[in-house]
Amino acid sequence: MNKIAIIGASGYTGGELLRMLLNHDKVEITDVTSRQYDGVPVHKVHPHIRDSGLVFRNKRVDEIDADIVFTATPHGASMKVVPDILETGAKVIDLSGDYRYRDRAVYEKWYGIKHTDELESVFGLPEIYRNEIKKANLVANPGCFPTGAILSSYPLVKNNLVDRIVIDSKTGVSGAGISASATTHYPNIADNVNPYKISSHRHMSEIQQELHGFDDVKVSFTPHLVPVNRGIQTTSHSFLIEDISADELRKYYEKEYKDEFFIKLMDDGEIPHLSSVRGSNFVHIGGFEIDETGRVVMLSAIDNLVKGASGQAIQNMNILLGIEENEGLRHYGLHP
C-alpha cells in the first residue's frame, strides 16, 4: 500500500482528496493535517466523510510518513513546506499556484508574493505533460480555470490555427473555497451572475503560459461566478488565421485527444454539461462551430474540484506511482 498524506486537509480540495482516496484501492491515508482543527475528527468539517477513523493533526513536516504528499495549502504557504517534504524523500503534488510558473517573475507579479525557492516542478496537466510528470518529484497541479481553458483551446494553438483567444468562463461557487465571505453569501449568488476581475484574474497568466508557448496568440480571460456548486463551463472564442471547416477543426481535437481516458468529445450539436462531469474527473469538450466572422467557438465542462483540482491531483499521483492513471477515478458524473 502506498502511503499518502494531505497537508491542509480541511478545505474543499482536502475533502475531495479524502472522498476519492478513501475509495482508492492502491493507497492508504496516513496523515491529514490542519492547524485549525488539530484533534478534530474529519467528519466535523467534511460531514459526508463518516467513520473514516481519520482525525486532523497539526503535524510538523518531519513527522509525516508518506510516499506522496498532497499540499492543499494556500498560495505562498506551499513554498514554505514543500522543500522540507521533498527532503523526506516523499514526492509532492502541490495544489497551490506556487510551482506552476516556469518564470517565477510572472508568479511574483500576479500573486504579489516573493518566491523563496528554485525547485524544479512539472505543470501537472497529464494530457500535455504526462511524460514529464512520470519523472517528477514535484508536480504543480494546475488551476481550475486553466484546466478547462487550456484543454479546450490547446489543439488550436498547437496547430497554429488562431491568433486571438477570449476565454469566457463561468464557475461554481465551491471554487471560492470553504470559507464564507460576502462574495459567497447565498443572496449575492443565487439568481445572479457575477463577473469578477474581468481583465485581471491571475489565472489568465497561467492560461497564457500554456497557450503562448506555440505562437504569438493573444489570450484574454474573464471569469464569472454563477449559481452553481461545482463546475466550470468554459466558452472559448478564437479567431482563425486562415479559414478551415468545422470538420477539419474537429479532426485536430480528435487527433490530440483520441487516447485520453478523461477527455470526451461531444457529438455534433451536443453541448458539454456541468452535470455530466459533476463529481468526476472527466472533461467534456464540444462546440466545433465557426461563425461567419471567422470566430471558432469551443466549449468545455469540468468539475472544478475534481479535474480542476483534487481529481487531477490523484491522476498525477497515479502517474507518479506507476499505477493505472484512472485508478479511483473511473466513476461517472452525477447527472442529474
Catalytic residue set = 144
Choosing from 5, 226, 302, 320, the residue that interacts with a copy of itself (CB under 8 A) is 226
From the list 2, 30, 88, 222, which residue makes contact with a copy of itself (rule: CB under 8 A)?
A: 222
Identify the burial level of 299 via C-beta atoms within 10 angstroms of its C-beta, where 0-12 means exposed, 13-18 middle and 19 or more buried.
buried
CB of 291 to a copy of itself, least distance (A): 4
Residues 250-269 that bind a copy of itself (CB under 8 A): 264
C-alpha cell at 31: 496523515
Task: Give the contacts of 255 (CB within 8 A, at least 6 positions apart).
Answer: 155
Residue 245 binds a copy of itself (CB under 8 A): no
Q: Pick between residue 30 and residue 222 the one whose CB is nearest to a copy of itself.
A: 222
Q: How far is the CB of 118 from a copy of itself (least distance, A)?
A: 27
Q: Distance between CA 236 and CA 169 in Å, rounded?
A: 8
Task: Say if residues 280 and 333 touch (Cβ distance below 8 Å).
Answer: yes
**Amino acid code (one letter) for 50:** R
Among 200, 248, 254, 324, binds a copy of itself (CB under 8 A): 200
Rounded CA separation 238/295 (Å) = 5
Residue 214 found at the interface with a copy of itself (CB under 8 A) = no
Residue number with CB closer to a copy of itself (9 or 140): 9
Residue with the three cell numbers 465571505: 181
Contacting a copy of itself within 53-112 (CB under 8 A): none
Give the nearer residue to a copy of itself in terms of CB position, either 128 or 225. 225
Can residue 47 be called a binding residue for a copy of itself (CB under 8 A)? yes
The CA distance from 276 to 44, in Å, is 29
Sign of the torsion formed by the C-alpha atoms of 18, 19, 23 and 24:
negative
User: Which letter, b or e, does each residue of 182-201 get, where b requires 16 or more Cβ atoms within 10 Å of its Cβ?
Assistant: eebeeeebeeeeeeeeeeeb
Binding residues for a copy of itself restricted to 171-190, rule: CB under 8 A: 172-174, 178-190
The residue (of 131 and 229) whose beta carbon lies closer to a copy of itself is 229
Q: Does 282 bind a copy of itself (CB under 8 A)?
A: yes
Q: Which of residues 127-166 bind a copy of itself (CB under 8 A)?
A: 164, 166
Q: Which CB atom, from 4 or from 277, has the smaller least distance to a copy of itself?
A: 277
Residue 126 binding a copy of itself, by CB under 8 A:
no
CB 2 within 8 A of CB 305: no
- Kindly determine how many residues on this chain lie close enough to bind a copy of itself according to the rule CB under 8 A: 83
Choose which of 13, 152, 153, 280 interacts with a copy of itself (CB under 8 A): 280
The SS3 of residue 153 is helix
DSSP state of 17: H
